[in-house]
Amino acid sequence: MINEIWNGDVLEVLSKISDDTFDMGVTSPPYNKKKNKSGILVKDIDYSDIDDSLDEDVYQNQQIEILNQLYRTIKPGGSFFYNHKIRWEKGVMIHPMEWISKTNWTTKQEIIWDRKLAANIRGWRFWQVDERIYWLYKPRDKKDYGKELMSKHALLTSVWYFRPEMSKLRVGNHPAPFPLDLPLRCIYSIFDDEKDKFIIDPYMGSGTSAVACKFLGHNFFGIDISKSYIDFALNRIDNLSDDEISDMKNEMSLHIVRETYKEKKEKKKNKEMGQSKLF
């Protein structure tokens, strides 16, 4: 199953995977947007092989079950990044934390993804340009809060500025891919220059997470219900384009810090000690 994408229902495939298999995961599931959420800039979301229009209770319970299966299959100390968004149905806000809080995961952080682009251009509320990325964590024990990020990753803040993926050459017919920067930032920030980690994306779609894994030197495992998406993704993974490689290098170039907090503290201490010697 290493560096493979399996065709099938997410829950059915996950049920076949052993406990504590993966080091990390990242995904963006279908949002259950129904067929009435298109706007001037974005048409109806039309996935291959699924109808993104479930009863909301059914959808949320399904997501809870999937997230708990992912919790089981990811190793203790592992992270999972879950991209979703706030939705409204008949004027009532539906927040992802409504079901995330019912899972086994510890929510380590809520990251705001500023897409710079509003999908539905209407005046019912301020134009929604944000989505959310939830950093979920599987503690080793009750006192485990996870390892501290390196400064060069943490400095990128909890607001991420990526435009949505617009290139059909990269993503084919997939209607809702996330940009390549997103999984790359998640994975690189957790593992830095480590290699050969095993990373799952249970909604692999056009293969974006797998592309990031390949570039960073990790192994991937994906699931998708659409055979056509899988065929496209596997071809994409085997044939990374120059512009994809350039984009990933640009993202990695942002992960740099000229002076860490520890170094600043030490410099201040040395300066104070130097001044004290003058008196």
pLDDT, tens digit (0-9, with 9 covering 90-100), for 54-98: 899 999 999 999 999 999 999 999 999 999 999 998 889 999 999
CB 112 within 8 A of CB 118: no
Query: Domain 4-277 has what CATH class?
Result: alpha beta
**Who wins on pLDDT, 44 or 55?**
55
Residue 220: which of 242, 204, 236, 238 has the closest Cα? 204
pLDDT, tens digit (0-9, with 9 covering 90-100), for 19-38: 999 999 999 999 998 655 55
Dihedral (C-alpha) 36, 227, 9, 220: value to the nearest 10 degrees? -110
Model confidence band, residue 176 (pLDDT cutoffs 50, 70, 90) = confident
- Work out the average pLDDT over 162-180: 77
pLDDT for the residue numbered 249: 97
pLDDT for the residue numbered 190: 98
CB 82 within 8 A of CB 134: yes
How far is the C-alpha of 259 from the C-alpha of 268, rounded, in Å?
Answer: 12
**Phi–psi pair at 26, nearest 5 degrees:** -155, 140
pLDDT for the residue numbered 175: 66
- How many CB atoms neighbour CB 199 within 10 A? 27
pLDDT > 60? residue 48: no
pLDDT, tens digit (0-9, with 9 covering 90-100), for 190-209: 999 999 999 999 999 999 99
pLDDT > 80? residue 267: no
pLDDT for the residue numbered 138: 98
Q: 149-183: string of b/e by CB count within 10 Å (b at 16+)?
A: eebbbeebeeebebebbeeeebbbebbbbbbbbbb
Strand partners, 92: 89
How far is the C-alpha of 168 from the C-alpha of 1, rounded, in Å?
Answer: 28
Domain boundaries, the chain: 4-277
Average pLDDT of the chain is 89
pLDDT > 60? residue 11: yes
pLDDT > 70? residue 46: no
pLDDT, tens digit (0-9, with 9 covering 90-100), for 114-147: 998 876 667 788 889 999 999 999 999 989 999 9
pLDDT > 70? residue 183: yes
pLDDT for the residue numbered 117: 83
